[in-house]
Structure 1
Amino acid sequence: MTSRQAPHCGLAPRCLWLLGAVLLMDASARPANHSSARERVGNREENEILPPDHLNGVKLEMDGHLNKDFHQEVFLGKDTDGFEEDAEPRRSRRKLMVIFSKHDRAPVSELQSCYQGLIVSPRVDLNTDRRISAKEMQRWIMEKTAEHFQEAIAESRAHFRAVDPDGDGRVSWDEYKVKFLASKGHDEREVADKIKNKWDLNVDEETQEVLENLKDRWYQADNPPPDLLLTESEFLSFLHPEHSRGMLQFMVKEIIRDLDQDGDKQLSLSEFISLPVGTVENPQGQDVDDGWVRDRKREFEELIDANHDGIVTVAELEDYMDPMNEFSALNEAKQMIAIADENQNHYLEPEEVLKYSEFFTGSKLVDYARSVHEEF
């Protein structure tokens, strides 16, 4: 699977931002993932060699659910320190305003750096006019997404070393399978012996299904001619499909397959907003389901269905889910501004960012009007 080189952004400054190699998709049974990023952090180490079922900076989860942390992920990047639930409010407000517009006291060399042509700024408000335009937000989204890419690459390298015990720079499907089953509690040496001698592994039905799905994705990540041996960059594509064009297509087709009810390999609005399996048993559950439909309907109509014909094709869903898509980033920037743009001037101002801090950071900062005067 050929990894993609990041395209030049049609922004000023122009950005050739993140590499070409990469990343994951969860083709396993894909259970619904309703947990937030903060709840998921504690569970990652246990299954570190598994493809994550959540991809930072990608709009949909592997099971087709909306990524409810997306806006915080592309606004804060990997630096969420200071916006925890128990963070001191004044510190959170000050940090939010630093992100918005202020220069830090650090020297310019520390505040600005260049990564493969992308000039990284320490603030969203690049021209310091105390308001954020759609173009400024677009640039910021792409910078923060690039941070997630770099973080994923570093993690993938560590995981690759863990599953490449002989250090030959290539991982066989059998080597990976041994490590995977060991992470599930099986004896590593015993599993290795069974695989070597082609004996029955005696795994339960659920584990066998996961293995079959993982092997399918392994084949997809294996560049031709296929040999079932993954290099470090191919392993990155296995773990993170959103940065490999072929793996992104595979991920999109899997999501459409799960949501497509009439078998036409595209999605109608009714298919996209269909409620998950289960019935509403109480009023609180009804509120949750009403929110599900409302959020997905808005996402379908405003962002995914590019030509507004009521049908989402594979190509439209690919563009929507592609973190490197400059046009999608601009649309997302406009939508994020519209959420908080109370004076309808198509810009974000400090008061609006603080008032809607929960949308941008996950933290609700009270007394936002006074905070603006304090921080400026």
Structure 2
Amino acid sequence: MLLQSFASLCLLAAATFAVPAQEKRVHHHADLSDHAHNDGQDFQYDHEAFLGKEEAKTFDQLTPEESKDKLGKIVERIDLNKDGFINHSELHYWIKHRQRRYIEENVNKHWDDYDKNQDDKVAWGEYKNTTYGFYLDEEFDDIDDKATYKSMLNRDERRFKAADRDGDGIATREEFTAFLHPEEYDHMKDLVVQETIEDIDKNGDGKISLSEYIGDMFTPEEGESEPEWVQNEKKHFTDLRDANKDGFMDFNEVSQWILPGEVDHADNEAKHLIHETDTDKDGKITKKEILANWNMFVGSQATNYGEDLTKSHDEL
């Protein structure tokens, strides 16, 4: 059965709230690019934002002609309503989608393990039997920590039901993605907060005390002195986390901690690309306008070679 492997998958899929160490429970949006956003130097940030980090590397190997040809086909995919224009909403959706590809690839990697009848859906029964089947038959009697695995099963079922938006007990690929990566979906975020509280709240009172908050990060060995960062975290708890100063973090305070409001970088990048490309300033861009500025959206051997020549000349 896949119970052991699933336990590892759970740790990977929900690493940010399963690893007890300082800020690792906080869910930050992934960066759009590893490069600085400086169009005066190069367009590498825009390339990775528009294509995704891995796909941008493949475009670097193309000629300008090949790069423009592929870009033209991408533009047709971005134009969801097929009106011949790319508006902000369509470009924003595309950039967000490209940034989520690593999540989709993770789901696809494990999909066939659970979709036993190959109907391109995963029923709760399929998932439960694949993950826990043998142990269910034995009522978890062969497992040392029986209570923990029963709790895992109950938690999985609750999360599956939350992800299953139409309540039919069967997850589409999108619903199963929400099950494995709940932090990526607005309708799952309350559950992420609830699971975080359950992880840290040792006395079961539904809130997190200072000792529970610190205990989630640091358990001293006998005679070990408290490091400075622990003192800093205690101050953060008192000054920042516990907003109403009642000595605890409640649901809303935990939400503010692990799901902080952040700048929507995909939104900003969509606005930037439209601003730089929209020659007639009608607030939307055409395929012609995009291809006229193709090197801002995608790269190629030639453009990178040109950049290398420029950098080499500057260095000399």
Q: Which TM-score applies when normalising by structure 1?
A: 0.44
Return the alpha-carbon distance in structure 2 between the equivalents of residues 328 and 259 of structure 1: 29
Taking a change above 3 Å as real, the CA distance of residues 308 and 209 of structure 1, as seen in their structure-2 partners, is: closer
Cα deviation, 1:162-200, whole Å, max 9, x if unaligned, reads 311322122133422444359xxxxxxxx5xx98xx676
Cα deviation, 1:296-336, whole Å, max 9, x if unaligned, reads 3244245533456654220121132226x33899xxxxxxx
Q: Match of 2:258?
A: 321
Q: Match of 1:153?
A: 104
Return the alpha-carbon distance in structure 2 between the equivalents of residues 251 and 77 of structure 1: 23
Asked if structure 2 preserves the Cα contact closer than 8 Å seen for 1:241 and 1:248, the reply is yes
Count residues in correspondence: 221
Cα deviation, 1:195-235, whole Å, max 9, x if unaligned, reads 8xx67686424367425423432333323664543222222
Asked if structure 1 preserves the Cα contact closer than 8 Å seen for 2:32 and 2:48, the reply is no
Return the alpha-carbon distance in structure 2 between the equivalents of residues 48 and 272 of structure 1: 24
Say which SS state the counterpart of residue 145 (structure 2) adopts: helix
Asked if structure 1 preserves the Cα contact closer than 8 Å seen for 2:38 and 2:45, the reply is no
Equivalent position amino acid for 2:160 in 1: A
Return the alpha-carbon distance in structure 1 between the equivalents of residues 242 and 43 of structure 2: 44
Q: Match of 1:37?
A: none
Return the alpha-carbon distance in structure 1 between the equivalents of residues 44 and 193 of structure 2: 44
Q: Match of 2:145?
A: 206
Return the alpha-carbon distance in structure 1 between the equivalents of residues 142 and 214 of structure 2: 36
Does 2:22 align with 1:66? Answer: yes
Counterpart pick for 1:290 among 218, 227, 234: 227
Taking a change above 3 Å as real, the CA distance of residues 317 and 170 of structure 1, as seen in their structure-2 partners, is: same
Larger Rg computed on CA atoms: 2
Counterpart pick for 1:99 among 22, 32, 36: 36
Return the alpha-carbon distance in structure 1 between the equivalents of residues 199 and 48 of structure 2: 45
Counterpart pick for 1:243 among 168, 171, 184: 184
Cα deviation, 1:348-374, whole Å, max 9, x if unaligned, reads xxxxxxxxxxxxxxxxxxxxxxxxxx9
Counterpart pick for 2:113 among 151, 162, 170: 162
The correspondence of residues 1-376 of structure 1 with structure 2, limited to 5 A, is 47=6, 50-52=9-11, 55=14, 58=16, 61-62=17-18, 64-68=20-24, 98-99=35-36, 101=38, 105=42, 110=47, 113=50, 149-180=100-131, 191=134, 203-206=142-145, 209-210=148-149, 212-222=151-161, 223=164, 226-260=167-201, 264-274=205-215, 280-282=221-223, 285-286=224-225, 289-291=226-228, 293-301=230-238, 303-306=240-243, 310-322=247-259, 325-326=261-262
Gaps in structure 2 of 5+ consecutive residues: 53-94, 266-313
Pick the structure with more helix per residue: 2
Equivalent position amino acid for 1:320 in 2: W
Q: Match of 1:32?
A: none
Gaps in structure 1 of 5+ consecutive residues: 1-27, 29-44, 80-97, 116-143, 183-190, 330-373
Equivalent position amino acid for 2:124 in 1: W
Q: Match of 2:87?
A: none
Q: Which TM-score applies when normalising by structure 2?
A: 0.50
Provide the alpha-carbon RMSD of the alignment.
4.8
Equivalent position amino acid for 1:206 in 2: D
Taking a change above 3 Å as real, the CA distance of residues 242 and 263 of structure 1, as seen in their structure-2 partners, is: same
Return the alpha-carbon distance in structure 1 between the equivalents of residues 230 and 40 of structure 2: 41
Return the alpha-carbon distance in structure 2 between the equivalents of residues 70 and 224 of structure 1: 25
Asked if structure 1 preserves the Cα contact closer than 8 Å seen for 2:124 and 2:169, the reply is yes
Equivalent position amino acid for 1:172 in 2: A
Taking a change above 3 Å as real, the CA distance of residues 110 and 226 of structure 1, as seen in their structure-2 partners, is: closer
Asked if structure 1 preserves the Cα contact closer than 8 Å seen for 2:182 and 2:192, the reply is yes
Taking a change above 3 Å as real, the CA distance of residues 208 and 78 of structure 1, as seen in their structure-2 partners, is: farther
Taking a change above 3 Å as real, the CA distance of residues 206 and 292 of structure 1, as seen in their structure-2 partners, is: farther
Asked if structure 2 preserves the Cα contact closer than 8 Å seen for 1:48 and 1:159, the reply is no
Say which SS state the counterpart of residue 175 (structure 2) adopts: helix
Taking a change above 3 Å as real, the CA distance of residues 241 and 224 of structure 1, as seen in their structure-2 partners, is: closer
Return the alpha-carbon distance in structure 2 between the equivalents of residues 228 and 257 of structure 1: 25
Asked if structure 2 preserves the Cα contact closer than 8 Å seen for 1:305 and 1:312, the reply is yes
Taking a change above 3 Å as real, the CA distance of residues 230 and 204 of structure 1, as seen in their structure-2 partners, is: same
Q: Match of 2:80?
A: none
Cα deviation, 1:27-80, whole Å, max 9, x if unaligned, reads x9xxxxxxxxxxxxxxxx954883235646x5xx32654345979x8686685x
Asked if structure 2 preserves the Cα contact closer than 8 Å seen for 1:242 and 1:248, the reply is yes
Asked if structure 2 preserves the Cα contact closer than 8 Å seen for 1:172 and 1:228, the reply is yes
